[in-house]
Amino acid sequence: MNSDAKIQLELLGSAFGEALLSRTPGVGLMSDTFFRYRDRIKQERMYSHFEELKKDIDAMDPRGFNLEYLRSEEFSDFFESTLWRVINTASEEKVRRFKKILLNEMTHTYMSDFKETFLDIAFRINEDQILILNHFRKVKDCESEGNSEQRVADGEGTETSLKCKANFLGFDEAKYLFCVQDLVSKSLLFDETIALFGGRTKPYTNLRITPFGEEFLRFIEGSPEQEGVSASLKSL
């Protein structure tokens, strides 16, 4: 059981105890107790996030921070957006993800109108899906270097079955299909099968990462200074 789950159980027990011991039971009281319980959970998450963030900031070179940007209204808005997502998730992997995004923003400011869009996506997808995105980015890099043999070895040929791809990434077929369908729906991947074969080949057997997907990975990894898609997005 992770620390967030323990905190939730303790506060939930306390909240129910207050409601049961009250001499004025009723829907209104239960609602009030529930919302106070939720507020406590969010406060604990916020305090925990601040503590971990402070540890990382103290360990970093202060000369690396963009102090002028940190004093700006734009950064305050960004900080509030990341904090809202941190206190509304019980996922430790997502909390770590947002902490990394925030630290990246403090040292290498990401200049784009897509920040909120990428924060939303970071909140809604999991680490398995990020692993899949990274795989397809690697496949694209191999293709750009003319390494078609590596692409086949990675299980990414046109004739690749869903089962083969899922096994290569360590997922069962159903889970892999669910993950990639969600990524396609968010425009992070696209299904080249439809474009090339007019639907005559099984869907999701010939996927590609989109420029949007590549840029999302740059955002969460803290590499907004790369040329190419990043440069074009900054100008939008």
Residue 122, in any domain of the structure? no
The verdict on residue 53 lying in a domain is yes
pLDDT at 141: 86
Structural domain span for residue 151: 127-234
Does one domain contain both 87 and 181? no
**Residue 119 domain flag:** no
My answer on whether 132 and 205 are in the same domain is yes
pLDDT at 196: 55
Output the CA–CA distances (angstroms, integers) from residue 177 to 137, 180, 214, in the order listed: 18, 5, 20
* Contact (Cβ atoms closer than 8 angstroms) between residue 82 and residue 101: yes
Give the separation between CA 231 and CA 147, rounded to whole angstroms. 26
**Are 68 and 135 in the same domain?**
no
Beta-carbon count within 10 A of 45 CB:
21
Residues 45 and 4: beta-carbon distance below 8 Å? yes
- Cβ atoms of residues 234 and 112 within 8 Å: yes
Evaluate whether 154 touches 139 at the Cβ level (below 8 Å): yes
pLDDT at 223: 67
Domain boundary among 78, 109, 140: 109
Q: Would residue 121 count as lying in a domain?
A: no
Q: What is the pTM of this model?
A: 0.76
Co-location of 104 and 7 in the same domain: yes
Q: At 7, which amino acid appears?
A: I
Residue 126: the pLDDT is: 94
Q: Considering the domain boundaries, does residue 32 fall inside one?
A: yes
CA distance 156 to 208: 9
How far apart are the C-alpha atoms of 236 and 234, rounded to whole Å? 6
Residue 114 lies in a domain: no
- Shared domain for 138 and 105, answered yes or no, is no
CB 81 within 8 A of CB 119: yes
The reply to whether 100 and 139 lie within a common domain is no
Q: Are residues 186 and 87 in the same domain?
A: no
Do 162 and 132 share a domain, yes or no?
Answer: yes
> How many structural domains comprise the chain?
2
The verdict on residue 205 lying in a domain is: yes
In this structure, the answer to whether residues 94 and 134 fall within a common structural domain is no
pLDDT tens digit at each of 236 positions of the chain: 566 656 655 655 555 555 554 545 555 556 677 778 888 899 999 999 999 999 999 999 988 888 899 999 999 999 999 999 999 999 999 999 999 999 999 998 898 889 999 999 999 999 999 999 999 999 888 877 665 544 444 444 434 556 677 777 788 888 899 999 999 999 999 988 665 555 566 778 788 999 999 999 999 998 655 444 454 455 44
How high is the pLDDT of residue 83? 94
3-state secondary structure the chain: CCHHHHHHHHHHHHHHHHHHHCCCCCHHHHHHHHHHHHHHHHHHHHHHHHHHHHHHHHCCCHHHCCHHHHCCHHHHHHHHHHHHHHHCCCCHHHHHHHHHHHHHHHHCCCCCCCHHHHHHHHHHCCHHHHHHHHHHHHHHHHHHCCCHHHHHHCCCCCCCCHHHHHHHHCCCHHHHHHHHHHHHHCCCEEEHHHHHHCCCCCCCCCEEECHHHHHHHHHHHCCCCCCCHHHHHHCC
Do residues 164 and 69 both lie within one domain? no
Q: Indicate whether 79 belongs to any domain.
A: yes
93 and 149 inside one domain: no
